[in-house]
Structure 1
Amino acid sequence: MKVIFGLRGTMTQIFDEQGHVVPVTPIEVGNDCVVVAKRTRKNNGYDALQLGFGEANLKRLNKPMEGYFKHSGVEPTRVLHEVRMDSTEGYEVGQHLGVDLFKPGDVVHVVGQTKGRGFAGGMKRWGWHSGPRTHGSMSHRRVGSTGAGSSPGHVLKGRHLPGQYGNERVTIKNLQVVRVEPEKGVLFIKGAVPGYHGRLVLVKGRG
């Protein structure tokens, strides 16, 4: 399975070979994604890669993590994340992963953190329609009924109500790689990707 970390860029448009405008999101990888450690089924009971991304601020690196990177023989990274794999064959500790892992036409899944919108009302969070706006009604954006009366006597779990909206881990599946630019370290993916520009995302090949 192909896997790589990158930074989400701002959405843009490119033209395909037929001259059609395609909305794309650039993923900036550069030379910042590196394999820090491997987990194998034989030694650990499962297959996984520990991937590092970005350059760490050495002043903020604590002693345990400093020793961990020294043992791995890899320069300390800003982000360290473990990704489960079907197999870790073909990957080595210290190997830098680039966008050349992918090619145009590949189908990928993108994992990212959505934009946080804070405490939001039901209309914004769940797409409710508004209440009546005439004939003296004061219930324009309110919740309304939340259930029955004395039986069951409480609001059932899972009810669509106002609350925290966004800032959650989301996977967008089956996106298509449109263009790969190895010299710039940029991957162009068709469509939208979760989060705001500059946020870390994980790109996984399907299968």
Structure 2
Amino acid sequence: MSGIIGKKVGMTSIFDEAGKNIPCTVIEAGPCVVTHVKSVDTDGYAAVQLAYGEKKEKNTSGPLKGHFQKAGTTPKRKLVEFKTFEDEKSLGDVITVDLFSAGDFVDVVGTSKGKGFQGVVKRHGFGGVGMQTHGQHNRLRAPGSLGASSWPSRVFKGMRMAGHMGNSRVKVQNLQVVKVYPEQNLIVVKGSIPGAKGSFVIVDK
């Protein structure tokens, strides 16, 4: 499965031939540099490591500097491994948006927006305990009863409760590529993808 590293630019909309307004997401994909080619003989598995995004040399550790110098490139911010590629890659190759064309279907992986610590109404869609009557003055967004009494005398694992929401790895599958702009290293996909503007995403073909 071929892929590329990119950055979420934002959302826009495009009109198709029938005049229908299609919501789209713009992704700045690449150019990515091949910084490591792993093989079964030396590493135990085959993979191609891509690097994306410029990084200051003073903020890069010594071992990573040598790693990037070996590939003949400057320090990068994001490193991702891809198990398979359509054709064989060698150290220092550059991967661009030419990998994609309009009409392709891709999977996009990103980190969703963090929502912090949230209650059960926002996190799981609970309706609250009930009306503001009969003394229920502070129970509108409460979870309600959590467990039985005599048995099992505890709360079952996996119970939907308040907690940390968002900021997790999310994959959205089968998004159609609407347009590709090779000059600006941009691809436009139909629909929304996880993450905030400027966050890193992985586009799998």
Shared fold, TM over 0.5: yes
Which residue does 1:47 correspond to in 2?
46
Matched pairs, number: 203
Mapping for residues 16-55 of structure 1, pairs under 5 Å: 16-31=16-31, 33-55=32-54
Q: CA–CA distance in 1 between the matches of 2:15 and 2:74?
A: 39
Which residue does 2:125 correspond to in 1?
127
After TM superposition, what 4+ stretches of structure 1 lie above 3 angstroms from structure 2?
A: 86-89
Q: CA–CA distance in 2 between the matches of 1:53 and 1:61?
A: 14
TM-score (norm 1): 0.92
Q: CA–CA distance in 2 between the matches of 1:16 and 1:41?
A: 46
Which residue does 1:108 correspond to in 2?
106
Mapping for residues 86-165 of structure 1, pairs under 5 Å: 86-87=84-85, 89-136=87-134, 137-138=136-137, 139-165=139-165
Report deviation, 1:149: 1.7
SS at structure 1 position matched to 2:172: strand
Q: CA–CA distance in 1 between the matches of 2:201 and 2:195?
A: 8
Report deviation, 1:141: 0.4
SS at structure 2 position matched to 1:189: strand
Q: 1:163 to 1:132 in 2, by over 3 A?
A: same
Unaligned runs of 5+ in 1: none
Q: CA–CA distance in 2 between the matches of 1:89 and 1:80?
A: 20
Q: CA–CA distance in 1 between the matches of 2:84 and 2:41?
A: 13
Report deviation, 1:177: 0.8
Report deviation, 1:4: 0.4
Unaligned runs of 5+ in 2: none
Q: Is the 8 Å Cα contact of residues 106 and 204 (structure 2) preserved in structure 1?
A: yes
Q: Is the 8 Å Cα contact of residues 30 and 184 (structure 1) preserved in structure 2?
A: no
Identity %: 41
- Range moving further from structure 2, 44-53 or 19-28: 44-53
C-alpha RMSD over aligned residues: 1.5
TM-score (norm 2): 0.93
Which residue does 1:59 correspond to in 2?
58
Report deviation, 1:202: 0.2
SS at structure 1 position matched to 2:188: strand
